[in-house]
Structure 1
Amino acid sequence: MLESWRWYGPLDRIGLHEISQTGARGIVTALHEIPYGEIWSRQAIADRKGLIAASGLDLSWQVVESLPVHERIKRGEGDLAPLFANYRQSLANLAAEGIFTVCYNFMPLLDWTRTDLASPVRGGGTCLRFDAARMCALEMFMLEREGAENDYPEEVRHRARQWFEASDAAAREELVASIMAGLPGAYDRYDIPALRRALTLYDGIDAEALRTNFARFLDEVVPTAAELGMRLCVHPDDPPRDILGLPRIVSDADDIAWILGRDETLANGLTLCSGSLGANPANDVPAIARRFAPRIHFAHLRNVAKEPDGSFEEAAHLAGDTDMVALVAVLLAEERRRRDEGRLDADIPFRPDHGHELLSDFDRDTHPGYPLIGRMRGLAELRGVITALSHPGTRHA
């Protein structure tokens, strides 16, 4: 497996020399400064690729995360031909520069969503957390979204009201800021009035309508990706449940089967995110990986600890509810299968996703969920699992 690291480019407070010291060699990055829907020029791609190579640290750009899907495509709104043409041209420009794996998502409006960016863990570290009661408080009492009460059980609604009544303006602003922190790209953020307005753009778009729009996206771009020899890999929803009245359609094995069945070429693949899928109590993540192994082109390896009310928080990579050893064994078996076929792209790039803030991480002010020490710990733990399972004397090898 190819050890990789997410890097936010020149904006990242973690430098390439530090990434090199973690042991990772693959870089996962994107041109976040380019607005959604515009073409990634070949020159801009070459410049970013050259910046990585110029470090002289034997690092290379392996995965794009992500080439964003414009919100109008998700809504099926207006004349979309120019947006699809731009997406296809960006794919062609990436391929021309030797970059063939592209992670993307089809989550409406928001990417990963958390209510707490610094929830305490043992020994003074912190982690990302999704608290069902706080999310409910935002929806019911701050956004005042119609029908929000139907999405949460009575006990969660009760705790949401308690939190809201005890909170002050600063606590409510912090909640909104935490939820907005998962947005990448041009770093647009919403306050409550702006979020209300943004949500109205999705009025009338249910899961069926969103799936129709997703199908059109796949029909428009996957054939081009196949011609270019590229691997598109959709990222699961995070969290894998409807939020803010927005449908989520990449949350479980049935959803994945529908997406991959839409076009059965290798160009239409999956980013196996063990944390996103692991937050759904119905998901057996190693089983999902086993079922869709031939179409996994990229992996996010992290773990979550779930709670009965729908809350969850980021656990250490080898803790939490997902059997990480079993999951890695599935991925290694798939790599062996690909090598037996003689494929040159047998290695699956993976990165330690998210991570606890630990030790000197608190002085860095990095992107939420992407600290240096916490992710390096996760990478080291995963490296140990991979090494052990790959040893000739190991039963799982």
Structure 2
Amino acid sequence: MKQTWRWFGPKDPVSLLDIKQTGATGIVSALHYIKNGEVWPIDDILKHKITIEDAGLQWSVVESVPIHEDIKTRSGNYKTYINNYRISLQNLAQCGITTVCYNFMPVLDWTRTSLDYELKDGSKALRFDVTAFAAFELYILKRDGATSSYSNEEQEAALLYFKKLSEAEITKLSNTIIAGLPGTEEGYSLEQFQKVLNTYSNINAEQLKINLVAFLKEIIPTAAENNINMCIHPDDPPRSILGLPRVVSTEADFDYLVQEVPNKANGITFCTGSLGVHPDNDLPKIFKKYADRIYFLHLRNTLRDAQGNFHEANHLEGDTDMFDIVSEVIKEEKRRKSIGRSDSQIPMRPDHGHQMLDDLNKNTNPGYSGIGRLRGLAELRGLELGIYRNLI
């Protein structure tokens, strides 16, 4: 696997020099300062690329070129934003960057209810708590129609949870959910959040799927012409939230996208965390089915319970058998190499590491502290080497 590391730019607490010391050789990054929907200029792309290369690293994957909400709802200026997206892809290709990760999650990108869930060893992890999220939706945001999303028992549990929160805890929970996590391009106030939710009032899962396919049919030909592999990221969490549909959560969702847009430029970011949270997903089966169009790997592990709560586990622990996944990755890389594919080495990054050791006393991006991801990368590197040596 091509060992990569996510870098959020010059303001990232984990510097390029730090990343180089981890042993990673590739960088996963984006131009976060460019407003959603605007064109990524060649000069800006090249400047970012040169900064990375001057540190002795390679800009391997763009994560992400964000999709404007107008595209997802096919309203407003969506045609202009789609054209801008095409131009950005062409500009990236001219700069030699040909792997683009993106997602189609409405309003919120990935979200959690806690950024500092303390584990037994004293390290801190990201967590999604169903009751906490219900308390936010029902009693803080007070979303119209929210009660229909929860049973009476869930509403009662959420109310009890809410009543125990202080004002500071209410603010913290709200900010955690809607202020934007690393990699998201937009954050909201409560008022702004409700307003943008309203734009999806007439869009159900079926309509969002149609909108996604329409977007892909418009941009995948441009990607293919420029030898760009587009890699859609699964929903995180893979469940409907805030009345918003999620349409990239299961094997059936991938089946639909590939059936409707079979071009090989229409690829997948295989995120073991996002897919692993859904109890019905058979990750090795999904990987084998779509191995030839998996162009990017997010390797992380989660631990879930029967109620749908989950937190980020250590990379080799949790509900996903990482041995099985990495074994399949190595088999696919060997297959690609045997037929002469130029992308035989699949970019992989360790994802959502724990806050631990010295990083407990530092300001870090939630899920993206240095030491936790370093531990994950080291574990994954060792696992890969052991499997590879055994296979040959």
TM (norm. structure 2) is 0.97
1:383 to 369, 381, 392: 381
What is the alpha-carbon root mean square deviation over aligned residues? 1.4
In the other structure, the counterpart of 2:350 is 352
Distance 1:74 1:187 in 2: 15
Displacement after TM superposition at 1:213 (Å): 1.0
In the other structure, the counterpart of 1:306 is 304
1:65 to 63, 66, 73: 63
Aligned AA (2:339): E
Q: 1:48 to 1:145 in 2, by over 3 A?
A: same
Equivalent positions of 1:359-370 (< 5 A) are 359-370=357-368
Contact 2:180 2:188 in 1 (8 A): no
Instruction: Report SS of the residue matched to 1:355.
Output: coil
2:273 to 269, 272, 275: 275
Distance 2:234 2:116 in 1: 23
In the other structure, the counterpart of 2:241 is 243
Q: 1:277 to 1:205 in 2, by over 3 A?
A: same
Contact 1:36 1:185 in 2 (8 A): no
How many percent of aligned residue pairs carry the same amino acid? 47
Aligned AA (2:232): V
Instruction: Report SS of the residue matched to 2:121.
Output: helix
Aligned AA (1:278): G
Contact 2:40 2:88 in 1 (8 A): yes
In the other structure, the counterpart of 2:317 is 319
In the other structure, the counterpart of 2:38 is 38
In the other structure, the counterpart of 2:188 is 190
1:197-244, CA deviations, whole angstroms, 9 ceiling, x for partnerless residues? 121111111111111111111011000100111100000000000001
Distance 2:345 2:383 in 1: 16
Distance 1:189 1:303 in 2: 26
Equivalent positions of 1:65-144 (< 5 A) are 65-144=63-142
With 42-51 and 148-157 compared, the bigger mean Cα shift is at 148-157
Structure 1 runs, 4 residues or longer, greater than 6 Å off: none
1:128-168, CA deviations, whole angstroms, 9 ceiling, x for partnerless residues? 00000000101111122233233234443332111101112
Aligned length: 392
1:278-316, CA deviations, whole angstroms, 9 ceiling, x for partnerless residues? 111111112211111111000000000001111100000
TM (norm. structure 1) is 0.96
Q: 1:186 to 1:344 in 2, by over 3 A?
A: closer
Contact 1:35 1:186 in 2 (8 A): no
Aligned AA (2:343): D
Equivalent positions of 1:176-255 (< 5 A) are 176-180=174-178, 182-183=180-181, 188-255=186-253
With 96-105 and 260-269 compared, the bigger mean Cα shift is at 260-269
With 262-271 and 299-308 compared, the bigger mean Cα shift is at 262-271
Contact 1:9 1:29 in 2 (8 A): yes
In structure 1, the gaps of 5 or more residues are: none
Distance 1:226 1:155 in 2: 50
In structure 2, the gaps of 5 or more residues are: none
In the other structure, the counterpart of 1:21 is 21
Contact 1:34 1:185 in 2 (8 A): no
- 1:3 and 2:3 correspond: yes
Contact 2:123 2:355 in 1 (8 A): yes
Contact 1:33 1:185 in 2 (8 A): no
Distance 1:71 1:197 in 2: 12
In the other structure, the counterpart of 1:175 is 173
Instruction: Report SS of the residue matched to 1:269.
Output: strand
Distance 2:183 2:18 in 1: 23
